[in-house]
Structure formats: structure tokens, C-alpha cells
Amino acid sequence: MAKRMTDTDKWKKRFVRELTPQHKLLWFYILDDCNHAGIWEVDIDVASIRVGFDLSQDDLPSLFGDKVISFDNGDKWFIPDFIEYQYGELNQNSNVHKSVLNLLNKYNLEGYLKGSQRVESTLKDKDTDIVIVKEKAKAKRFTKPTIEDIKEYCIERNNFVDAEKFFDYYSSNGWKVGKNPMKDWKASVRTWEKNSTSEQSKGKVQQSLDTWQEARQMINNG
């Protein structure tokens, strides 16, 4: 029996929150039923029986938007996020990853991997025994988040960062961190989170000090 990691924060994500109860069940069924490379063999009849309600193949791909890639005339779906969550960076030197990469290459799906999922392949030159390492991943292009994206991530992080303030601040400076273009807005949110926590701690210390001074003053006056 295959065992897989699960994201305990999935219930906080906007994509999952906006699905109907039935379609939530279907989505989690697909994540369990797909193979180890995140490829699901579409079988509407079996899926309908297992989730307990009737499905229409014509409507399915539109339900999940860009979370699934339909290929092979709609008979198979690929779920890029499955790779990112289960494996992170794929490496040809890992036996487990090698099997995944072989399937992705077979169906020409490597191009759908996210930029953060770097793929390394090692090729050995038979004549010179030189090991050549090739980077296959393309550089990840920064995409400006929406206020809703920021709010959703802050909910996942359970922090007190003001999403609108964050958005307005970086919109005003052209989405730069210092003098450099921003590469990862989530990392910037985490930095704000740390600073916010630090400021809250300072505030509590100052409040305690003020309370102590007031009490001392009352004692002296008494």
C-alpha cells in the first residue's frame, strides 16, 4: 500500500476552500489514485463509484483549472503540484526520482514543472568519462501577487502581516527588495512576519515596564 505525505494546511488554501464538498472529495481521491509521478489515469466510472456521486468527463478539467494538465486525448491528467509537494527538487541520481523523471520524459511533461523544482541529470561521456551535469529547469519568473494571494498565504502562516499594507508598499517601489527586483514575495512576507513578531515582543516589554513604573510611582506616592 502506497503512503504519501499530505498537506495539513490544504484546508486553508483558497483553491480548496472554493471547491464544493463533492469536488473536494474528488480532488483528494485523484491525489490518492494518481501514480507516483502525479499522473492520473482518468476513469470516470470508477471515480463516480468511489466518491459516491455521478461525474461528467466534459466538466471535469474546468473544475480544477491549471491544477491539472489534461493530455493523451483527455485519458490522463498530470498534477504538477503533486511533484513539488512529494519530492521537491528532482534529481536524476535518486532512484525514486529517476522513475518519476522517466515517466515525465515519456509524456513530455517536464516543461510543466515549476521553476523551483530544479531537475538535474547526470550524463557520462563514454569516451572521456567526464560527468556532465545539465540544468534543465528554466529560471523562475517573478509573478506579482494579488492582495488575495497575500492574505491566503498569511492565513496559512497564521501571522499578523497586513496584506494590503504589504501590497501597497511593494507596489509603490516597483516590487523591489532594497535595490534588487523581488524574486520571492512569500520570502518577503516571512521577513515581515519576523519583524512584526519582534515589534510585538518589544511592545509587550515596554508595556510591562510602563506598568511596573506606574506601580512603583503609586507606592512612592502612597
What is the average pLDDT across 70-89? 88
Sign of CA dihedral 157, 161, 165, 170: negative
Residue 154 CA to residue 199 CA, distance in Å, equals 17
Q: Is the pLDDT of residue 121 over 50?
A: no
Q: Is the pLDDT of residue 135 over 80?
A: no
Q: Which of 221, 202, 222, 198 lies closest to 210, judged by CA?
A: 202
Residue 140 CA to residue 175 CA, distance in Å, equals 16
What is the rounded average pLDDT for all residues in the chain?
80
Q: How confident is the model at residue 139 (pLDDT cuts 50, 70, 90)?
A: very low
Q: Is the pLDDT of residue 1 over 90?
A: no
Cell numbers for 178, please give them.
Answer: 532594497
Residue 35 CA to residue 82 CA, distance in Å, equals 10
Question: How does pLDDT run across 150-195, given as a tens digit for each residue?
Answer: 999 999 889 989 999 999 999 999 999 888 888 889 989 989 988 8
Q: How confident is the model at residue 114 (pLDDT cuts 50, 70, 90)?
A: low
Amino acid at 197: T
Residues in the chain: 222
